[in-house]
Structure 1
Amino acid sequence: MGKILYFLPLAFICSYAGPLELTITERILNGLNATIEQFSYMVSIQRVSDISNPGHGHTCGGVLITQRHVLTAASCTYRIDYANNKQVIHYNESDFIVFAGSAFLNETSSDRIRSIENYTRHPEHLIEPSRANDLAIITLVSPFPERVVKPLALPPSDYTPRDSTVCTIAGWGAQTNLSSIPSVQLQYINNYILNQNSCISLFNNFDQVEKILPSMVCTNVSDNNTKGCKGDQGNALVCGGILTGISFLPNDCMSENSSRPELYTRVSNYTRWIQTVTDSAPNIKPRFYALLILTVFHAFFQKVVS
């Protein structure tokens, strides 16, 4: 296994059950065609061994938060072997690549593909049925060029969108529930923030999650014809241009009568942790630091010699 960064021992994480393994049949259903100008922060996490398949190995979505860091669901970085006592199997970094910079998966130029250096899962991530703190940061071996992508800024720690706020989520996937092949072109759907108490009440009828937590965001769609699916884990929920959530429990697009809300990890609850991992808390580029130090030194030197 490649290098994986942890904040807690591996035994802590492996003591819980895990999510279903992703397949290319899991996708956004009946979405609208998107352009990269609309979603220049979107990434596709792709299994290297499946790159030559029609779905180009797409397994999960993610959002660029710097040129070199991707925010996604922690549940996108492992699978569960249910036949072997629910053993948690962590993915090797070398088994996956990150694709970005185009709405079309068949754009295979080298500046749109990056290898993975490591995964950093949230230290308090609990696997199903809790599904708490379902976040991970992927550090890439090298950054994407600025001309190719535009990362999405982290939200303020106190950001909470109002109920019924209209939001957008994008991802790659088949355009109907009759196909198992992801769409080559990026798709998107609109949904809205669901009242937290209403979400808690609705999820009393489902067993996929143990408890709706304040660190989770609920959304719903305005109709039953557009919805996300399990393969859309890791996709970014964006409300008014602000990064709001990371999908960890999408809807069941294969069910025509599904009315279950979709669940996201509330990113604003984790802004400080993310900044710590990515070393982006100061939000100042190293070149700026060097110029600042040089300026201070120059001023000090001028004072001494005068």
Structure 2
Amino acid sequence: MLVLQEILLLHVLACLGRLTHGSDIIHGEKAPENSMQYMASVQDNEGEHVCGGFLITEDFVVSAAHCDDSSLTYVVLGNHNLKNSNHQKIKIENKIIHKNYRQVGLGDDIMLIKLSEKVKLGHGAETIEIPPAEINLKENQVCQVAGWGITKTDDNKLADELMVVDVSVIDKQVCKKQWRGLPANVICAGGYETTKGFCQGDSGGPLVCHGFAVGVVSFNYDENCKYPDKPNVYTDISKYRKWINEVLKTFF
């Protein structure tokens, strides 16, 4: 049994070489002004966008664990256009990665970012609720994903303005057939058998269903945003509600 487990792990790790960090929006449109004000741009020390995120309290942003980098310095909120200086730019005080996270594709791809000061709500920035308990999304349920990532597979230029697209939830069993070694505690939506989803550049952004942030953009396949090869995969936030609450209490 131990040998079998080792073989399966090696297979999963081999597949990881073809994974791509989640990213940006394909076949979407500009987010309407004054919408999705919980969206955050996680930036490096040069003010460049690295990953997406979303505000859940006045001083905490959720993002993906694989976004963690020593260069992460600021979180920008309050403006859909990152070239516009009219926004709130707040320094990162701490990054808390789930203790079980090892590598993108193996699960537990979630990170909490503690801000050095509280966001001024109502100034173009608002929080979004996360599920109070575990959720059961239905197949084909329509949700939204947004971000500032690239909008074409072979284009390395990030979007200046926030883009958003509707994506449909994919049945977990269907997703498992497409992703051998699919980790637990994930949601699949968009990509597979559609022309819509995320691509490189939008990791950490939220999957939003019925007004709740239910998922965190995690990974897709082999830098291919043309689809419909594989489902897009998100971390299921509802499975980490207890952990999130414990972290928030630590800093209260």
TM-score range, shorter chain: 0.7 to 0.9
How far the C-alpha of 1:35 sits from its partner, in A, is: 3.0
Over the aligned positions, Cα root-mean-square deviation in angstroms equals 2.9
Please list, as runs of the form range in 1=range in 2, the aligned pairs for 1:1-306 lying within 5 A after superposition.
27-49=24-46, 51=47, 57-78=48-69, 91-92=70-71, 95-109=72-86, 112-130=88-106, 132-148=107-123, 149-204=125-180, 210-213=181-184, 215-221=185-191, 224-251=194-221, 254-279=224-249
Is the 8 Å Cα contact of residues 37 and 126 (structure 2) preserved in structure 1?
yes
TM-score (norm 1): 0.70
- Structure with greater helix percent: 1
* Distance (whole Å) between structure 1 residues aligned to residue 192 and residue 179 of structure 2: 18
* Distance (whole Å) between structure 2 residues aligned to residue 129 and residue 263 of structure 1: 9
* Distance (whole Å) between structure 2 residues aligned to residue 252 and residue 39 of structure 1: 29
**Closer/same/farther in 2, CA of residues 201 and 178 from structure 1, 3 Å limit:** closer
Q: Deviations over 1:244-300 (max 9, x none)?
A: 1001113556453542001111101111211111129xxxxx9xxxxxxxxxxxxxx
Q: Deviations over 1:59-106 (max 9, x none)?
A: 11011001110011111104xxxxxxxxxxxx25xx421111111101
Unaligned ranges ≥5, structure 1: 1-15, 52-56, 79-90, 205-209, 281-285, 287-306
Q: Which amino acid aligns with 1:102?
A: N
**Number of aligned residue pairs:** 238
Q: Which amino acid aligns with 1:273?
A: W
SS of the residue corresponding to residue 92 of structure 2 reads strand
Which 4+ stretches in 1 moved above 6 angstroms? 16-20
- Structure with greater strand percent: 2
* Distance (whole Å) between structure 2 residues aligned to residue 251 and residue 19 of structure 1: 10
Identity value in percent: 25
* Distance (whole Å) between structure 1 residues aligned to residue 30 and residue 143 of structure 2: 16
TM-score (norm 2): 0.84
Unaligned ranges ≥5, structure 2: 1-12
